[in-house]
Structure 1
Amino acid sequence: MNLREIITDAIKYPISDTRKFLIFCVLIILMSLSIVLPSYGLKNSTLAIILTLVTLIVLLVVLGYSIEVIKSGLEGDDTLPDFDYVKQFVIGVKAVILDIIYFIIPAVITIIVASATGLFSSFTQIVYVGIDSLANETTNVTTIIAAVPKSTMNTFTNALSVTLIVAIILFFIFSLMSFSAQVRFAKFGSGTEGLRFKEIIKDMLSIGIIKIIVTLIVIYIIALALVFVITLIGLIPYIGVFIGIFVGVPFILLFLYRAIGLLYADAY
């Protein structure tokens, strides 16, 4: 499918089944209660704990359902998936684990690079200089920075630059791979499929890296535009927040995951 077809289909998809869409909306409301209710002055420690647990459980169900939305896009199914809360909870847990794995890898590599370039050691030296300056009642930031040895500051600056560049590149690459991993997980229903790096790269190449990047940029721009609209609706006293969450957030989520499924459909 081309980009226009993906966007058109994904926009229509959330309301392809009104009943299921409303159920999904209710799930989003339940997931949001721990944030929304305190904003209305309802503060109770016991209730807060209960709502937090509800939020976590429902969040995993929503994530599991979203993975099945991806699958519907891959298989060309034009209607929203059926709800199976236990099954979708389990899928959600697996999806979270998969994401954690994909973001641990670049995080570990970034830490190694930071250590190897001297970022941590130079930062520690700068902190010690700052502590000594404060102990001597020096509070002027410029004076404190001037007290840091030039070699230490140069090491810190260079190490920070290298580490940031490596981190940005790695997180960009692994973010793309994470998308593809979730798609393979949705397609085959197995978490291990999401860790088949060779197959994931093949999937990405078969679609086209540029097409993936451009499509993701476009759908996220559209999602941000919808978020802006939701924010404006949220300004309506009392009911605005509920309208935005009840309709806007579910629509955006279903739109995004449907578009991702359609994007990767050509790979299978």
Structure 2
Amino acid sequence: MNLREIIMDAIKFPISDTRKFLIFCALIIIMSLSTVLPSYGVKDSTLSLILTLVTLIVAIIVLGYCVEVIKSGADGDDTLPDFDYVKQFVNGIKALILDIIYFIIPAIITIIVASATGLFTSFTKIVYISIDAMSKNANNLTTIMAAVPKTTMNTFTNALTITLIVAIILFIIFSLMSFTGLVRFAKTGSGTEGLRFRQILRDMSKVGLIKIIVTLIVIYIIAFVLSLIIGLIGLIPYIGVFIGIFVGVPFMLLFLYRAIGLLYADA
């Protein structure tokens, strides 16, 4: 499918089955109660604890359902998946674990790079020197920074630059791999399939790296616009927040995950 076909299909998909869409909307509302109700003055601690637990459980179910939405796109199904809360809860946990793994790997590498370049050491020196300068009546930023040796500042600046570059590159690479791994998991139902890096790179090559990047940029721009609209709706007194959550957030999630599934339909 080309980009236009993916976007048009993903826009129509959420309302392909009104009943299932409304059920999904209800799940989003339930998931959001722990953050919405306090804004209306509901601050009972016991109720907050219960709602937080409910939010966690429902959020995992929603994530599991989104995995099935990806599968429906990859398989070419035209309607929303059926609800199977136990299955979707299990799939949600697996998807969450995959996301954590794909986050931990670049985070560990970035920490190693930061340590090797002297970022932590130079930052610690700057902090101690700044504290010492303030204890000696240095009362503005210019005076405090002047107390820091130039070599230490250069080491910190260079280390920070290198670490940020590495972190950004790793974030982009592992984000793309995470999307592809999630699709492999959605297709097979196997969490280990989402970690087969060689097959993941093969799938990315088959779809086309440029196509993946461009499509993701476009769908996230559309999602950002939808978020702005949801935010504006939320400004309506009393009911605005619920309207935005009940309609806008579910539509945006289904649109995003459907588009991702369609993107990898040929993989």
| Short-chain TM bin | over 0.9
Matched, 1:104 2:104: yes
User: Could you say which residue in structure 2 is the equivalent of 1:129?
Assistant: 129
Number of positions where the alignment pairs a residue of Structure 1 with one of Structure 2: 267
Q: Within 5 Å, give how 1:203-222 maps onto structure 2.
A: 203-222=203-222
User: Could you say which residue in structure 2 is the equivalent of 1:248?
Assistant: 248
CA distance in 1, matches of 2:92, 2:37: 25
CA distance in 2, matches of 1:247, 1:135: 56
- Alpha-carbon offset, residue 259 of structure 1: 0.4
Give secondary structure in 1 for the equivalent of 2:266: helix
**Deviation per residue, 1:213-258 (Å, 9 max, x gap):** 0000111111111111111111111001100000000000000000
CA distance in 1, matches of 2:2, 2:252: 20
- Alpha-carbon offset, residue 133 of structure 1: 1.5
- Alpha-carbon offset, residue 139 of structure 1: 2.4
Q: Within 5 Å, give how 1:7-18 maps onto structure 2.
A: 7-18=7-18
Matched, 1:41 2:59: no
- Alpha-carbon offset, residue 41 of structure 1: 1.0
CA distance in 2, matches of 1:137, 1:88: 60
User: Could you say which residue in structure 1 is the equivalent of 2:6?
Assistant: 6
> TM-score if structure 1 supplies the norm length?
0.99
CA distance in 2, matches of 1:110, 1:139: 34
CA distance in 2, matches of 1:75, 1:194: 17
CA distance in 1, matches of 2:7, 2:157: 43
CA distance in 2, matches of 1:45, 1:95: 30
CA distance in 2, matches of 1:40, 1:138: 46
- Alpha-carbon offset, residue 107 of structure 1: 0.4
User: Could you say which residue in structure 2 is the equivalent of 1:177?
Assistant: 177
Structure 2, unpaired ranges of 5+:
none
- Alpha-carbon offset, residue 138 of structure 1: 2.1
Give secondary structure in 1 for the equivalent of 2:265: helix
CA distance in 2, matches of 1:51, 1:135: 47
- Alpha-carbon offset, residue 46 of structure 1: 1.1
User: Could you say which residue in structure 1 is the equivalent of 2:53?
Assistant: 53
Q: CA RMSD in A?
A: 0.6
Structure 1, unpaired ranges of 5+:
none
CA distance in 2, matches of 1:155, 1:192: 41
CA distance in 2, matches of 1:145, 1:254: 50
User: Could you say which residue in structure 2 is the equivalent of 1:188?
Assistant: 188
- Alpha-carbon offset, residue 136 of structure 1: 2.0
Q: Within 5 Å, give how 1:142-161 maps onto structure 2.
A: 142-161=142-161
CA distance in 2, matches of 1:133, 1:61: 53
CA distance in 2, matches of 1:108, 1:230: 36
CA distance in 1, matches of 2:104, 2:175: 11
CA distance in 2, matches of 1:224, 1:106: 25
**Deviation per residue, 1:165-192 (Å, 9 max, x gap):** 0000000100000000000000000000
Identity %: 79
